[in-house]
Amino acid sequence: MRIDGACHCGKITFEAEVDPDKAGICHCSDCQALSGSAFTTFLPVPKEAFRLRGEPKIYVKTAESGNRRAQAFCPECGSRLYATSEKDPQVFNIRTGTVRQRAQLAPKSQVWCRSAMPWVMELGAVSQHAKQAG
C-alpha cells in the first residue's frame, strides 16, 4: 500500500510503500513517555521503500532491550515521525498518526504488553463523544 504523510506543521513530509498487516501498537514505557499517551501506533517500513523530505531532529535513547533507538521529530512542531536503529537503519517505524491514510491502517499486533496500562485493553467500555464539548 502506498502512503504519504507529514508532521503537524508540514515542514517534513514522506512517502512509503507499506504492508498494512504490519501495523502495530507498542506499549513500552519509552513509547508512553515519548508520546505522552498510553501507547504508540507504528508502521514498519523498509529503508528502500521510505522517502523523507525535510530534516528531522534525532534523539537517541537506549531502550530496555539494550538497543539504541533514534527517535525522529520535526524540529519546528515536535511531531514524532519515526524510530529506527541508531546506525545504518534498515527499517523505519513510522508513527501512524502522521500518515494521511491512517484510518486504513488498523493495528494487527501489540508489543511490550507487560508495560500496558491496565485500562487500555478495555477502552470500548469508556464513554464516547464525537468531539470534545466546550
Reported as a pLDDT band with limits 50, 70 and 90, residue 19 is: very high
Q: Grade residue 124 by pLDDT with cuts at 50, 70 and 90.
A: confident
Beta strands in 9-131 (DSSP E): 13-17, 24-26, 40-46, 50-53, 57-62, 68-73, 80-85, 91-95, 109-111
* Number of neighbours of residue 124 by Cβ within 10 angstroms: 6
**Domain map (residue ranges) of the chain:** 2-116
Contact between 77 and 56 under an 8 Å Cβ cutoff? The reply is no
- Architecture in CATH for domain 2-116: Beta Complex (2.170)
Residue 41 has pLDDT above 90, yes or no: yes
pLDDT tens digit string along 46-75?
A: 999 999 999 999 999 998 888 899 999 999
Is 14 in contact with 5 (CB distance < 8 Å)?
yes
